[in-house]
Chains A and B, each alone.
Chain A
Amino acid sequence: MKFEQKICEQIPHLRRYALSLCADPLAAEDLVQDCLERALNKRHLWRTDGVIRSWLFRMLYRIYLNHCSSASARREVAVPDAGEDFSVEAVHDPHLQCRDAISAISILPPEQRAALMLMVLESPSYEEAARMLDINIGTLRSRLSRAREAVRSHCERASRGEGETRLRRVK
């Protein structure tokens, strides 16, 4: 199979992962396009015996981190209404059920979010996931654990209706 065909096969996966990272469909589309453009330009760096999925996802993740860092350096909010695009009509029960989880991942740090969504969407082995994110396996395990706990606690608070901050008597 040709290099270009292999890349095309990964586009739906890249798009799904980018959407989970960016929340905004337009930003996700730009992210995938940047990734594909860089992959085509850097094709000479791809080892033919390697797994192209790891190579592409690592590329997309790096571009995503670059976007995040440049946005924060400019003190801009890249996605002012992150998560709002997923609000749907009340008739869609499955969407409503997962709304808490989606809002939970939107508050995660980018690194934790990327690690969690990579496992959720692609289910790679820890070794491959660590390669994609360019970190060691211990760091990956730590990020996944913290991300999961954050999502769980956020969803539990949301289900109890504790979304807003309340004053607590300390003395």
Chain B
Amino acid sequence: MSADDRRQPVSDEELSAFADGQLPPADCARVAAHLRANPQDADRIHSYWRREAELHSAFAVAADDTAPEPVAPVRRPAFPLVYAAAALVLLAVFAAPWLLPVDGGGAKPLPAHGAGPLKQQVISSHAGLDLLPGAELQPRGELLPGGEVQPGGELQPGKELQPGGELQPGQLPAVAAGVTEYRFHDASGTVLVLYEGAPGAGAYPSLKSGAARVEWSAGQRDFMLEGTPGAADLMSLAVGLQERLAPSPAVDQRMGDSPVPSPALQLRQEEVSPAGVSKM
């Protein structure tokens, strides 16, 4: 670089680009020479860096404070325990029909493999329900003798079923026919509700006014997830659930039925949604 080059004026834009480390090497050397001769401009760049470091830390903290839960932390589980539990329970419930032999008969309970204890543990810890001996996972995802959960049933914390006992119809909130409700909640007050029903089964009840919702369709079933977490986290959870609930191609082939639509997210239908409702 010649002396004439060094004497070229340095613009504010070049100083800003120098602060970002985005100048070409030749210009970078020229600006560095300028800064040696003009310490007030060097102070300016230092001031940029100081303010931007403050902004960076402020918004990193603010984003952490406003986020209900970090979605993808570096060294922590991707979801809080209640999310993981909900995903595992739903996976066990919805995978049951595909895991059964075709000629197995719809009413035959699943043998107590790993899913039984897992489901028992999850329900016990999150619904306050002690699953008693004799409860087995039915192909259609219902818990029978020992603790029956009917479509539309809500498991209340602390509600304990006795052997052979059944929840009385009056204890269950009404949900539209053909719609199954799965509800999860933990001690911190996080509530998640998943509705599953046939297309056009009707309007789903709302958890609370203004709660975020995500709706999607998969395998000729409609799903609606609602909960108290933030909308972004709810959608993230819905994406994970949708992936886990999608039947594998091998299972489809074994079932011998018509192929299930692609697990890729898809719009259920084009319609105007109310505020706060997202569709995938």
Please tell me which one of the listed residues A94, A98, A126, A142 contacts residue B22 in the complex, with CB atoms under 8 A apart: A126
Find chain A residues with CB under 8 A from B225 CB.
Answer: none
Contact of A4 with B63 in the complex, beta carbons under 8 Å: no
A117 vs B63: C-alpha distance in the bound complex, in angstroms?
14
A11 within 8 A of B: yes
Interface size on B, residues (CB 8 A): 46
Please report the C-alpha to C-alpha distance between residue A142 and residue B11 in the assembled complex, in whole angstroms: 10
A37, A43, A142, A149: the one within 8 Å of B235 (CB): A37
B250 at interface, CB cutoff 8 A: no
Q: How far is the CB of A74 from the nearest CB of chain B, in Å?
A: 16
Least Cβ–Cβ distance between A57 and chain B, in angstroms: 15
Judge if B279 is at the interface, Cβ distance under 8 Å: yes
Determine whether B254 belongs to the interface, using a CB cutoff of 8 Å to chain A.
no
Contacts of B232 in A (CB 8 A): 11, 14-15, 29, 32-33, 36
Using Cβ atoms and an 8 Å threshold, which residues of chain A touch B242?
Answer: 4
Number of residue pairs spanning A and B whose beta carbons lie under 8 angstroms apart: 128
Instruction: Report A25 CB to chain B, min CB distance, Å.
Output: 4
Contact A126 B20 (CB under 8 A): yes
Q: In the complex the two chains form, is B231's CB within 8 Å of A33's CB?
A: yes
Contacts of B26 in A (CB 8 A): none
Residue A101 is within 8 A (CB to CB) of chain B in the complex: yes
* Interface residue B57 (Cβ < 8 Å from any Cβ of A): yes
CB within 8 Å of A: which of B63-101?
A: 63, 66-67, 70-72
CB neighbours of A19 from chain B (8 A): 59, 62-63, 66
Known: A36-B235, A43-B265, A120-B55. A126 touches B62 (CB 8 A): no
Interface residues of B in 229-280 (CB under 8 A from A): 230-233, 235-236, 239-240, 242-243, 264-265, 267, 278-280
Q: Which residues of B contact A43 (CB under 8 A)?
A: 264-265
A4 to B62, CA, bound (A): 25
Known contacts A29-B66, A43-B265, A97-B54: does B59 contact A16 (CB below 8 Å)?
Answer: yes
Q: Are B67 and A15 in contact (CB under 8 A)?
A: yes
CB<8 Å pairs between A and B, sample of 30: A4-B265, A7-B239, A8-B236, A8-B239, A9-B72, A11-B71, A11-B72, A12-B70, A12-B72, A16-B59, A19-B59, A20-B59, A25-B66, A28-B66, A33-B235, A36-B278, A43-B264, A85-B62, A86-B62, A98-B57, A101-B51, A101-B54, A102-B55, A102-B58, A119-B20, A141-B13, A142-B13, A151-B51, A152-B47, A155-B51
Q: Which residues of B contact A (CB under 8 A)?
A: 11-13, 15-17, 19-20, 22, 44, 47-48, 51-52, 54-63, 66-67, 70-72, 212, 230-233, 235-236, 239-240, 242-243, 264-265, 267, 278-280
A interface residues with partner B (beta carbon < 8 Å): 2, 4, 7-9, 11-12, 14-16, 19-20, 25, 28-30, 32-33, 36-37, 40-41, 43, 85-86, 94-95, 97-98, 101-102, 104-105, 116-117, 119-121, 125-126, 141-142, 144-146, 148-149, 151-152, 155
